[in-house]
Amino acid sequence: MRSGDPVAVGTEAGAAHSEIQAYDHGHAHGGLVKLAVGAIGVVFGDIGTSPLYAMRDTFDGHHKLPLDALHIYGIVSLMFWSMMVIVTLKYVTVIMRADNKGEGGSLALLALVNQHISGKRWSSGIVLLGVFATSLFYGDSMITPAVSVMGAIEGLAVYEPAMERAVVPLVVVVLIGLFFIQSRGTAKVASFFGPIMMLYFAVIAVLGVMSVIEFPSVIMALSPHHAAAMFVADPMRGFLAMGSAVLAVTGAEALYADMGHFGRSPIRISWLAIVLPALVCNYLGQASLLMRLGQPALASPFYFLAPEWFQWPLLGLACLAAIIASQAVITGAFSVTQQAIQLGFIPRMSIKYTSVNAGQIYIPVINWGLMIAVIVLVFVFQRSSNLTAAYGIAVTGAMLIDNFLLAVMLFVVWKWKPWASVPLLALFFALDFGYLAANMTKIPDGGWVPLVMGLAIFTLLTTWSKGRALMRASMAEGSLPFELFAKSAHSSAARVPGTAIFMSSTRGGVPSALLHNIKHNKVLHERVVVMTIAIQDVPVVDDAERIEIKDFGQGFFKLLLKFGFLEETDVPAALKGVTLDGEGIDMMKTSFFLSRQTLIAGAKPGMAIWREKLFAWMMRNAASAMEFFRLPANRVVELGSQVEI
């Protein structure tokens, strides 16, 4: 889980932690409210826009349901109790307790779990599950902007059927604009997200209540017996309906993934006090509308809730909410990529920092790759109802994998008693397995998309991780111990003024760049430092534990710099705290020597030839170490070598 290929994250997590600590001690109630509003703007955009299409697609999607009391009440009951079990109980109550020093998300949970299971026979299986969950997240990141924005803009065709042909071009224009603004950062725009989403949730709640008043008995649909009655009376349709009903809980994992930015308390308060009640009111309102109007309202139960004078304002507000939901997923893709690079699953990529204060990042390769994928999905599927078939598998697959990671947490880390953990896990697995199985029936209708995307990304991630391990092992074969090298080399070459830092991906042996330098240049600097960067399974490393130095005498040193998987790997900044022989490191008198390996596919056992070629391609296209580690361009020397795996 550790790699010599780290990356960066800014100061947002640290700022959030300080606020969280303050209000947790009862000193900053205002900070809690501010974070709760911010969480509404970032965390709940995905699940908040589900009412745009969830009820419609459940009754008028790939597996249509009759518009009668049995099925309408049954679906509302299923959606409500899914939100209660999956979102409220599983994520908000249980999984959010599994924080990695305040951070959440599949990779943070995987890193936390790995600290306790490393070396066990089944640990590699758990790691692969966590990596596959990350792969599915990228599929989700491609589908969410397309389905959210399309679901919102389709309101044009609901209110003005003549404008139906304009929906797809407008969706593409909005999405292109959204991806183009990413490079400028969203710090200022993000400050408006919270209030806009607060207004959105207030509006959908009021519209729902207004509709419920017209048919008050629909409130009875919240009883779980209605869901049970639907499955008993119509088991096949009830099972198939789960494939669309799960859309009501899409975005549940975002609550956990964004915990590091906002903290447990603000997310829990926002969900229980504002988001959940608003969603329940709106789904009840849509059910009331379907009970009263039937088929005419099925084109869009969400948009038909609005009175005629409010239809266009609702369309505008829904479009803003969809854009916010998409923005949150795109930003999440940047953050997940950052963590994956740090943990050794993705090659180095160029990362730009769009805000010093907020620590926001922008990864061009991910941004443009997502934009192309999203636009292709829009043109291929044409309607949000077609895209939701692909949406469900990515969501349910990731939620099911979280159950396996949670099981390890309960039994290995928290050591819960079986009587407490087994029933809870059985409930989660039963519900998530049911939802995944129902969505598998949609594979021919588009469900294959996230599976293909997930498998492709999973192959890339595991190939890079395995290739790096094989390459490090190959480089370590027959390498000279550094202690022996230091004793023999100090008098065999001329010494020149200054400091030479040779970066090494492994903690043992002599870097190839150092061997090449002494072989060809026949000189050594006064101070020779072999530096290794180690990424820890924690988000942030304490400053007191960041640096380890070993002095071998005669001006030879080994330096270990430790970073968390959410930290910026700014090497010059970290070296300001390093002292060698009583002196600091002067950047103007320091040269950085980097090894650049050329991969040779060999007959050694390890990976298939096609994966070795894929790994070699990924290496060639990785960002330069100089840019990645923030090294001064005029102080870097690269020396090449060939490595066979």
**Statement: residue 24 has pLDDT above 60:** no
**Statement: residue 139 has pLDDT above 90:** no
**Statement: residue 40 has pLDDT above 90:** no
Residue 461 CA to its chain's centroid (Å)? 14
What percent of the chain has pLDDT above 90? Answer: 23
Q: Please choose, from the candidates 481, 539, 531, the residue with its C-alpha nearest in 3D space to the C-alpha of residue 510.
A: 481
Segment holding 615, helix H or strand E: helix 609-620
Average pLDDT over residues 90-109: 81
**Statement: residue 111 has pLDDT above 90:** no
Q: What integer pLDDT is reported at residue 219 of this predicted model?
A: 95
pLDDT in tens, 42-62: 788 888 989 998 898 889 877
Q: Phi and psi of 251, rounded to 5°?
A: 95, 0
Average pLDDT over residues 560-571: 85
String of DSSP letters for 302-321: TGGGS-GGGHHHHHHHHHHH
Which has more pLDDT, 129 or 214? 214
Q: How many residues does the chain have?
A: 645
Q: What integer pLDDT is reported at residue 9 of this predicted model?
A: 30
Helix 123-153 crosses helix 311-342 at what angle (to 10 degrees)?
160
Average pLDDT over residues 217-241: 92
Q: What integer pLDDT is reported at residue 441 of this predicted model?
A: 86
Whole-angstrom distance, CA of residue 28 vs CA of residue 36: 13
pLDDT in tens, 305-362: 999 889 899 999 999 999 888 887 888 788 788 888 888 888 888 877 766 544 467 8
Number of H helices, E strands in the chain: 26, 10
CB 402 within 8 A of CB 433: no
**Statement: residue 532 has pLDDT above 80:** yes
**Statement: residue 22 has pLDDT above 50:** no
pLDDT in tens, 397-416: 888 888 888 888 888 888 88
Domain 12-445 CATH assignment equals 1.10.357: no
Q: What integer pLDDT is reported at residue 358 of this predicted model?
A: 44
Burial group, residue 172, by CB count within 10 angstroms (0-12, 13-18, 19+):
middle
Q: Please choose, from the candidates 634, 622, 170, the residue with its C-alpha nearest in 3D space to the C-alpha of residue 351.
A: 622
Average pLDDT over residues 236-258: 84
What percent of the chain has pLDDT above 70? Answer: 89
Average pLDDT over residues 364-389: 88
Average pLDDT over residues 575-583: 83
13 confidence band (pLDDT: 50, 70, 90): very low
Q: What integer pLDDT is reported at residue 442 of this predicted model?
A: 83
603 confidence band (pLDDT: 50, 70, 90): low
Domain ranges of the chain: 12-445, 474-644
Residues 6+ apart with CB under 8 A from 393: 436, 439, 440, 442, 443, 447, 450, 451
Residues 6+ apart with CB under 8 A from 237: 63, 65, 71, 230
DSSP-based three-state secondary structure for 1: coil
**Statement: residue 76 has pLDDT above 80:** yes
523 confidence band (pLDDT: 50, 70, 90): confident
pTM above 0.85, yes or no: no
Q: What is the mean pLDDT of the chain?
A: 82
Three-state secondary structure along 510-573?
CCHHHHHHHHHCCEEEEEEEEEEEEECCCCCCCHHHCEEEEEEECCEEEEEEEECCCCCCCHHH
pLDDT in tens, 414-440: 888 889 889 999 999 999 999 999 888
